A and B are shown apart, each in its own frame.
Chain A
């Protein structure tokens, strides 16, 4: 009998050994898969959230800083696909760990299917407008944006994007024009608004016509004008590391960012923006009035227009990495509200099937354009609870304005 027990013990040990060995090889398989299938490296160094537990609901009520993250074209299908690829069926992206979720409707004033200009206007100024228009009503009246409201309240402000900084979404927060195509005019508005941090692409719109890289139709050199106005101007990742505020203009490409090394990642841009905006030494008696920062993962939309699943996942994880940086700061700070939302869905992406290991996924696209689908919203921080529910995209701006202490919003400006 004793012999039998002993042999069982040895058998058990062998079984345990085999299970451990199996687990190791399985986890290695999952690990190598996390950074892309069949050698596709979605984003160097990105690791999906190691935990799946939601971040806590904060009891603090005072919102001092706001970080609004916009995933251009990021519907639920895009989030699900990226999560399956990066974290598996039961894992979570960082944005998915935010404790408050909601659903946002996206139509514009003239179309069931919005573009980024009208959607950006709704998110920034709380008003529905026509596709193509930026922070103006359909009648051409200009509407104040939450960034401008924050500025008026003495807060520092920033815009970060992987597109040209003059592209529709960032432009909706810092300019007022009839057409999103007026990017040279938008560049002028962004600087005239004295936005503390402007990081992205689009150098061409700041250079005079005589410069070979220029996309302007006049001889204004907005980079020189910005430097004269007190901005530090940078254009490389190395310069970014040592850059300081209070005014920072970083234009890393003539056109949109390429989102590859040696460019700074969106996460690095997010970190620098927070560092510059969260300068506690400023103001009378060293008291900071907080900041408003909008960061856009611009190129999720572009990958979806191409119906390119690999690039969609790559760009979404790049965005999620930046969100991790925002959440890391907000968890420490306790008075920072982080809101993640999309302006619209692009591509009508859906996951039709696959296996539970997510190593094989059958996906499909309904269109190469945008869709009228609602989009997810996630929130963390003080007063995050007000972002739960199903509501219109204009409500996002109204809720933000309310948290900044303004009830009368939207409102026109001259």
Chain B
């Protein structure tokens, strides 16, 4: 199954947790470099959420829902 990796500024807490469903365009968090929004480019479910201390970012892995693959 296809997955995408999103990185968001850890200064701001994630509202998503593992298992949550996201739709295309849903706001995931804040971009560390631009301060703009990070949105999910696909529909799917949050598979992994982890904190990367070195970059001070959350890494969010979203597994694509079946309709993305059609």
- Asked if chains A and B come from one complex, the reply is yes
Most A CB contacts (10 A, CB to CB) among B13, B32, B33 go to B13
At the interface, yes or no: A255 with Cβ under 8 Å from chain B? yes
Q: Does the CB pair A114–B11 fall under 8 Å?
A: yes
Q: Does the CB pair A306–B56 fall under 8 Å?
A: no
Interface size on A, residues (CB 8 A): 27
User: Which of B18-26, B37-45, B47-55, B61-69 contacts the other chain?
Assistant: B47-55
At the interface, yes or no: A180 with Cβ under 8 Å from chain B? yes
Q: Does the CB pair A131–B35 fall under 8 Å?
A: yes
Bound state CA distance, A62 and B12, in angstroms?
41
Contact with B along A356-386 (1 / 0, CB 8 A): 0000000000111110000000000000000
Bound state CA distance, A256 and B53, in angstroms?
8
Bound state CA distance, A131 and B32, in angstroms?
9
Given contacts A369-B11, A369-B13, contact A163 B58 (CB under 8 A): no
Contact with A along B1-41 (1 / 0, CB 8 A): 00000000111111000000000000000001101000000
At the interface, yes or no: A132 with Cβ under 8 Å from chain B? yes
A121 — which chain B residues lie within 8 A by C-beta?
Answer: none
Interface of B is mostly: loop
B10 — which chain A residues lie within 8 A by C-beta?
Answer: 305, 368-369
Q: Does the CB pair B13–A368 fall under 8 Å?
A: yes
Give the residue of A110, A131, A306 whose beta carbon is less than 8 angstroms from that of B51.
Answer: A306
Q: Does the CB pair B53–A370 fall under 8 Å?
A: no
Contact with B along A79-122 (1 / 0, CB 8 A): 00000000000000000000000000000001101111000000
Q: Does the CB pair A132–B32 fall under 8 Å?
A: yes
B55 — which chain A residues lie within 8 A by C-beta?
Answer: 181
Most A CB contacts (10 A, CB to CB) among B11, B53, B56 go to B11
A119 CB, min distance to chain B CBs, angstroms? 10
At the interface, yes or no: A179 with Cβ under 8 Å from chain B? yes
Shortest Cβ distance from B14 into A: residue: A368
Q: Does the CB pair B14–A370 fall under 8 Å?
A: no
A307 CB, min distance to chain B CBs, angstroms? 10
Bound state CA distance, A110 and B34, in angstroms?
13
Given contacts A115-B56, A255-B54, A302-B53, contact A370 B12 (CB under 8 A): yes
Shortest Cβ distance from A119 into B: residue: B11
Q: Does the CB pair A302–B12 fall under 8 Å?
A: no
Bound state CA distance, A306 and B11, in angstroms?
12
At the interface, yes or no: A129 with Cβ under 8 Å from chain B? no
At the interface, yes or no: A63 with Cβ under 8 Å from chain B? no
